[in-house]
Amino acid sequence: MLIKEDTIHVEPQTYTEQITIDKDITLIGAGANSTIIQSPKVLSPDNFGKKFIVEIRQGANVIMSGFTIRGPDGSPHWGIGVLDGSTLELSHATVTRIRQSPALSGGTGVLVGLPPWVAEEQVGNAIISHVVVSEYSNHGICIIGNGSTANISETQVIGYGPTPELGQVGIMVGFGARATVRQNQNISQNICTQDGFGPDPLNQGQSVGIFTIEADAETVISNNKVEDNDVGIYQYSSNGCHQTDNNILQNNGYFGLVIQDGDNTCSRNSISDGNVGIGVVAGSVNTVGTLQDNRIRDTLIMDVQEISAEGFTATANTS
C-alpha cells in the first residue's frame, strides 16, 4: 500500500499490510492495543534488499501515533525504516516480534538510516517517545550513518533475556549518527549465552543495552535506567561523546559501563551489582577521558589493556 494523503485517522483493526510512505502525512491510530499493522507472511524487499513492514522515504515527514507494528514468524525483516532524508515522529506505539522464528535472527525494530557499506548518504531522522520496542532479534532501535539523527525518550526497549541464539543491542548509535537518548526507564534483557560471548571485551561478544560505535561527538546518553543486560552502556571508538551522565546502570552481568578506544567523559552515573562497574578498555588505540563523580556500589573499576589506557583519569568516584 502506497500512502499519499495528508492525514489519516485509522480505525481500530488489524491491518495485514506492507506500507511505503513517500509523502508528508500524519497517521493517528486508535491506540497501540487497538490499531495493529501486521506484517504479511512474505515481505517484498526494497532497492537495498531490506524488508520493512513500514518504510518512509523520499524526504517524507511523517507523524505516527497510536499503533502497533507487529512482525511475522517468517523471514528476516525490519519493522520501521526511515531512509532517504525522511523524518519520523513516532509516539505512543509498540514495535514487536521483529525477528525470524524459531531462530532469533535478522530483525531490527526501528532502523533510522543505513550503514555506509550498504548505501552512502541514506540518512534518516527520528523523534521517538512513549514507545515500547520488544522481541527484536538484532537491534531494538538503530540510528546509523553519517547525518542520521534521533531523539529517543520515555521509551522502553526490551530484549529476549538470556538466549543462546543471538547477541542483541537495545539502542545503537553508530558510524557518524548523532542521538540524544534521555529519560528512558527500561532498557533491559539484552543477554546472550552462546559460545563466544562472555566477560572479556577484547576477545568475546556481549549483548548491550545502549551501544555507540564511531558515533557523532554530540551524542548524549543521560538519565536512562539500563538494567539486566550483559553490558549496560558500551561506548566503542566514539571520540568526544562527552555527555554520558546520570544514568542508572543496575545488575548488568558483565559490566555496567565500558569505554573502549576513544575519548569520553562519563559522570554522575549510578552503577550497582553485576560483575564490573566500569571497564576502561584499550584494544587498538589509546583510551582517554574522564570518569568523574560516578557512584559505584558492589562492583569494581577494571582496566583491560592491549595498548594503553593511561590517558584516562578517574576522580571523585565513590562506592
Domain locations along the chain: 1-126
d(CA 4, CA 7): 9
Task: Name the residue among 236, 241, 234, 237 with its Cα closest to residue 219.
Answer: 241
**pLDDT tens-digit map of 41-68:** 888 888 888 889 999 999 999 999 999 9
Asked if residue 82 lies in contact with residue 112, where contact means CB atoms within 8 angstroms, the answer is yes
pLDDT given for residue 301 in this prediction: 58
| In the predicted structure, residue 2 carries a pLDDT above the cut 60 | no
What was the pLDDT predicted at 166?
Answer: 79
Distance CA 124, CA 70 (A): 21
- Mean pLDDT throughout 263-283? 85
What type of residue is 318?
T
Peptide bond into 102 cis (omega under 30): yes
What is the mean predicted confidence (pLDDT) over 253-281?
87
Is the full-model pTM beyond 0.85? yes
Whether residue 123 contacts residue 146, with contact meaning beta carbons closer than 8 Å, is answered with yes
* Listed range (18-22, 31-35, 206-210, 278-282) with the worst mean pLDDT: 278-282
Which of 20 and 137 is assigned the larger pLDDT?
Answer: 20
pLDDT at 1: 46
Q: Which residues of 121-153 are buried (b: 16+ CB within 10 A; e: fewer)?
A: ebbbbbbbbebbbbbbbbbbbbbbbeebbbbbb
What pLDDT is recorded for position 209?
98
Q: Band of the pLDDT at 305, cuts 50, 70, 90? A: very low
Say which residues have a Cβ less than 8 Å from residue 8's Cβ, sequence separation at least 6: 25, 26, 27, 28
Q: pLDDT (tens digit, 9 = 90+) per residue, 137-184?
A: 889 999 999 999 999 999 999 998 998 877 899 999 999 999 999 999
Return d(Cα 4, Cα 20) in angstroms, integer: 10
Q: Which burial class, exposed, middle or buried, applies to 294 when counting CB atoms under 10 A from its CB (0-12, 13-18, 19+)? A: buried
Strands 107-112 and 149-153: unpaired
CA distances from 305 to 175, 188, 276, 310 (A): 24, 28, 15, 9
- With a cut of 60, say whether residue 302 has pLDDT above it: no
Grid cell locating 223 = 538519565
